[in-house]
């Protein structure tokens, strides 16, 4: 497999009135062509900020550390995303090689412009095709994502479409520029389960067909199990565990991943008690020292967790975890 995008030592802080707030802390990962990576974590774990950084979309008060590096491999050689400055250069990543689907399809479409005009507009921005050609491609994409009567939908407004339909249109729009990487930020969270199942199926088909890389951001481990090849679990801006989806779900190593799995209500065993992860997520202004999870960790070893940041340990060649329980190298 060839790497599509490489993220190294990404650290992002935001300047706020109350001081610097760390949102992403020393995050590294690689996505290959045709690979689906799930990014799981609670609100405040920095999932969306990480994803936005890939398109250099974070607000002006974001501060990237000097070691942060995002390398996108395109046909014309590698591109350092964080070094791009002008809007012209950024077009390569924004909507060109990378597209994004957001959680709220209603908020992502302009309400007073037809779906079709919005699709045509972005196609014309990113290529030199004629308006006629852009329209043809848009209608074809709407058809591809399973929207019935695409020619009619093309001239409708977002409010005329149902929730599931809007999310499909959003996907059609994101894919029409033939991106290499698709970022899906909680694409099914606002949908009903039956519609969620349809959208998940659709996305799986599209990966196969277009062979693109996908970052699937969600807090739903079930959705991850159904879609992703590998998964990274984030807590307070750090990746605490990363590995193939089967490994992480069946054999979780980090107490936080174990806690998340235990907190999920399971249909197979209705008698199992629901065990929450104890305590609340600390405020980003009061970042715990040492291991960021130590304030809620049920398996805390002692002072080492409170004072020393655990480094990533490979539990096997593809599965790594950042926890002091696993830092001792087996003899």
Partner 1 sequence: MSETLIKARDLSVGFKIGSGFFGKSILKAVDHVDIDIEKGSFFGLVGESGSGKTTLGRALLKAVPITGGSAHYTDGEVNYDLRTLAGPELKDYRKRAQLIFQDPYAALSPRMTVRDIIAEPLEVMGLTKTREETDARVREIAAKCRLNLEHLRRFPHAFSGGQRQRISIARALVSGPRFIVADESVAALDVSIQADVLNLLKQIQRDLKITFLFISHDLSVVAHTCDHVAVMYLGRLVESAPTRELFKAPRHPYTKALFSAIPSLDPDDRGSAQKLEGEIPSPTNQPPGCKFHTRCPFAIDICKKDEPKLEHPGDGHEVACHRWRELAATLAA
Query: Is residue 42 part of the contact set for partner 1 (CB under 8 A)?
Result: yes
Query: Is residue 164 part of the contact set for partner 1 (CB under 8 A)?
Result: yes
Q: How far is the CB of 135 from partner 1 (least distance, A)?
A: 26
Provide the token pair at 162.
């149902």
Query: Is residue 192 part of the contact set for partner 1 (CB under 8 A)?
Result: yes
Query: Is residue 206 part of the contact set for partner 1 (CB under 8 A)?
Result: no
Q: How far is the CB of 216 from partner 1 (least distance, A)?
A: 12
Pick from 8, 69, 73, 219 the residue near partner 1 by CB under 8 A: 219
Tell the residue number behind the tokens 């791009």, with chain if given: 84
Task: Identify the bridge partners of residue 40 per DSSP, sorted by sequence position.
Answer: 218, 233
Query: Is residue 233 part of the contact set for partner 1 (CB under 8 A)?
Result: no
Provide the token pair at 104.
């709220």
Between β-strands 319-322 and 312-316, what pairing exists: parallel, antiparallel or unpaired?
A: antiparallel
Pick from 226, 251, 258, 313 the residue near partner 1 by CB under 8 A: 226
Query: Is residue 249 part of the contact set for partner 1 (CB under 8 A)?
Result: yes
- 3-state SS, residue 64: strand
Nearest to partner 1 of 53, 248 (CB atom): 248
Pick from 59, 87, 194, 328 the residue near partner 1 by CB under 8 A: 194
Nearest to partner 1 of 181, 260 (CB atom): 260
Query: Is residue 31 part of the contact set for partner 1 (CB under 8 A)?
Result: no
Query: Is residue 222 part of the contact set for partner 1 (CB under 8 A)?
Result: yes
Phi, psi of 21 (to 5 degrees): -115, 125
Phi, psi of 226 (to 5 degrees): -85, -20
> Does residue 67 contact residue 110 with C-beta atoms inside 8 Å?
no
Candidate ranges 89-97, 103-111, 209-217, 264-272; the one touching partner 1 (CB under 8 A): 264-272
Query: Is residue 304 part of the contact set for partner 1 (CB under 8 A)?
Result: no
Pick from 221, 240, 305, 322 the residue near partner 1 by CB under 8 A: 221
> Does residue 13 contact residue 63 with C-beta atoms inside 8 Å?
yes
Q: How far is the CB of 270 from partner 1 (least distance, A)?
A: 6
170-173-179-182 Cα dihedral, nearest 10 degrees = 0
Query: Is residue 243 part of the contact set for partner 1 (CB under 8 A)?
Result: no
Candidate ranges 12-20, 58-66, 219-227, 316-324; the one touching partner 1 (CB under 8 A): 219-227
Query: Is residue 19 part of the contact set for partner 1 (CB under 8 A)?
Result: no
- Cα–Cα distance for residue pair 293/301, rounded to 1 Å: 12
| Longest pairwise C-alpha distance within the chain | 67
Query: Is residue 170 part of the contact set for partner 1 (CB under 8 A)?
Result: no
- 3-state SS, residue 243: strand
Phi, psi of 210 (to 5 degrees): -95, -15
> Does residue 176 contact residue 119 with C-beta atoms inside 8 Å?
yes
Tell the residue number behind the tokens 């990274």, with chain if given: 232
Rg (CA), the chain: 21
Pick from 17, 19, 43, 59 the residue near partner 1 by CB under 8 A: 43
- 3-state SS, residue 237: coil
Query: Is residue 193 part of the contact set for partner 1 (CB under 8 A)?
Result: yes
User: In the 8-state DSSP scheme, what is residue 94?
Assistant: B
Q: How far is the CB of 35 from partner 1 (least distance, A)?
A: 14
Question: What is the contact surface with partner 1 in residues (CB under 8 A)?
Answer: 42-43, 162-165, 192-198, 200-201, 204, 219-223, 225-226, 245-246, 249, 259-261, 263-267, 270, 272, 274-277, 280-281, 283
């Amino acid at each position: 497999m060839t790497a599509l995008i490489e993220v190294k030592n990404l650290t992002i802080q935001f300047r706020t009135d109350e001081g610097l707030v760390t949102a992403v802390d020393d995050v590294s990962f690689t996505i290959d062509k045709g690979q689906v990576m799930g990014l799981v974590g609670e609100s405040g774990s920095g999932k969306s900020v990480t994803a936005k950084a890939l398109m250099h979309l974070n607000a002006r008060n974001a501060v990237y550390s000097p070691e942060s590096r995002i390398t996108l491999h395109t046909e014309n050689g590698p591109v350092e995303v964080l070094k791009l400055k002008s809007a012209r250069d950024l077009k390569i990543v924004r909507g060109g090689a990378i597209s994004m689907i957001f959680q709220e399809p209603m908020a992502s479409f302009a309400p007073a412009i037809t779906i079709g005009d919005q699709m045509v507009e972005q196609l014309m921005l990113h290529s030199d095709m004629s308006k006629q050609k852009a329209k043809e491609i848009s209608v074809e994409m709407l058809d591809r994502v399973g929207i019935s009567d695409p020619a009619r939908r093309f001239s409708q407004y977002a409010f005329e479409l149902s929730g599931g339909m809007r999310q499909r249109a959003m996907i059609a729009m994101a894919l029409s520029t033939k991106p290499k990487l698709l970022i899906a930020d909680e694409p099914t969270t606002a949908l009903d389960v039956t519609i969620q199942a349809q959208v998940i199926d659709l996305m799986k088909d599209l990966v196969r067909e277009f062979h693109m890389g996908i970052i699937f951001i969600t807090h739903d481990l079930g959705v991850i199990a159904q879609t992703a090849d590998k998964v990274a679990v984030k807590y307070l801006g750090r990746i605490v565990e990363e590995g193939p989806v089967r490994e992480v779900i069946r054999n979780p190593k980090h107490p936080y991943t174990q806690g998340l799995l235990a907190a999920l209500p399971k249909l197979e065993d209705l008698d199992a008690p629901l065990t929450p992860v104890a305590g609340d997520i600390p405020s980003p202004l009061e970042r715990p020292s040492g291991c960021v999870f130590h304030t809620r960790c049920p398996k805390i070893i002692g002072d080492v967790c409170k004072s020393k940041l655990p480094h990533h340990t490979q539990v096997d060649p593809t599965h790594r975890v950042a926890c002091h329980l696993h830092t001792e190298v087996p003899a």
